[in-house]
Amino acid sequence: MKTSSKLFTFGLIASWYSSNIGVLLLNKYLLSNYGFKYPIFLTMCHMMACSLLSYIAIAWMKMVPMQTIRSRIQFLKISALSLVFCVSVVLGNISLRFLAVSFNQAVGATTPFFTAIFAYLVTLKREAWLTYITLIPVVTGVIIASGLQLQELSKKLNSMNLLLYMAPIAVVFLLPTSLIMEENVVGIALALARDDVKIIWYLLLNSALAYFVNLTNFLVTNHTSALTLQVLGNAKGAVAVVVSILIFRNPVSVTGMLGYTLTVFGVILYGEAKKRSSK
């Protein structure tokens, strides 16, 4: 049973890695190389897929019990979180038009440090001091390569139910924004589809991957922990950088590679610290 449990967890992590790297590289290809320069519309497609697939997973497949919004205040909090999430994803997608995947991933790799801090502030659950110490190389390595980023957290609903409610609200935010800021985007998308039907499959695959990123986030967190998921993300970033260099020929400086090496070193130290603290 222990071996099968480890294999299951390994499979979940592999699926999480694949969907995360897949959606990142496909976003980069569509927005930068293919020439589909509409990040707001692309994010809206993601949220539409998340709305539909979340409902199927919860209401039909019963993957988790359906949770309800219990108050107007809770709805407003979810709406606010959805808005912040939309802005974050849209800005991240916009950055892929102009930045190499390596830099984009470097920015996101400092989140374990802030996740640990905010987890303590919100839940008062503190990791072992050795765990915090091992996160220092992670943060230092990324600062060498780039800058900082924070993520919003929510504790009211499990992440699958939270996505079920956030995604449709996000579509409500993104649809008028896309129509106003990305002029004639629907007509352009239809024209592209007539000229090259592959764009439809790219968008469908990209949107499905965006949902599976969230699904595997939930499953991996359930079988490990939120902080472990964030630290695993640093190694994912390093893999994404290597793959992006091979596919897109992105130049990476010696300093940037030094930063990533230090980040991966921090990931290894963190894993060892978690093992010792759990004994």
Q: What are phi and psi of 224, to 5 degrees?
A: -130, -105
45 against 148, higher pLDDT: 45
Specify the amino acid at residue 22: G
Query: Can you tell me the mean pLDDT for 13-33?
Result: 85
Identify the pLDDT of residue 272.
59
Cα gap 149→104, rounded to integer Å: 11
The CB density around residue 166, as the number of other CB atoms within 10 Å, is: 25
3-state secondary structure of 37: coil
Token pair of 129 as six digits: 């001091």
Identify the pLDDT of residue 75.
87
Specify the amino acid at residue 272: E
Specify the amino acid at residue 50: C
Cα gap 182→90, rounded to integer Å: 13
Identify the pLDDT of residue 149.
32
C-alpha distances (whole Å) from 90 to each of 42, 85, 97, 188, 208 are: 9, 8, 11, 19, 17
**Vertex 219, ends 212 and 119: CA angle to 5°?**
110
Closest CA to 136 of 271, 227, 269, 234: 269
Query: Can you tell me the mean pLDDT for 13-23?
Result: 86
Cα gap 57→77, rounded to integer Å: 23
Do 24 and 30 touch, CB atoms closer than 8 A?
no
Identify the pLDDT of residue 34.
82
Write out pLDDT tens, residues 44-83. Answer: 999 999 999 999 999 999 988 998 888 888 888 888 888 8
Identify the pLDDT of residue 212.
93
Of 21-35, 111-125, 202-216, the one with minimum mean pLDDT is 111-125
Query: Can you tell me the mean pLDDT for 184-207?
Result: 91
Q: Is the pLDDT of residue 126 over 70?
A: no
The reported pTM is: 0.67
Helices (H), the chain: 2-28, 39-55, 72-98, 101-108, 111-123, 129-145, 159-181, 185-195, 198-223, 226-248, 254-277
Q: Is the pLDDT of residue 86 over 60?
A: yes
**Predicted confidence band of residue 208 (pLDDT cuts 50, 70, 90):** very high
Which residues make Cβ contacts (< 8 Å) with residue 265, sequence separation at least 6? 137, 141
Q: Is the pLDDT of residue 150 over 50?
A: no
Identify the pLDDT of residue 85.
81
106 against 11, higher pLDDT: 11
Closest CA to 43 of 54, 51, 35: 51
Identify the pLDDT of residue 245.
65
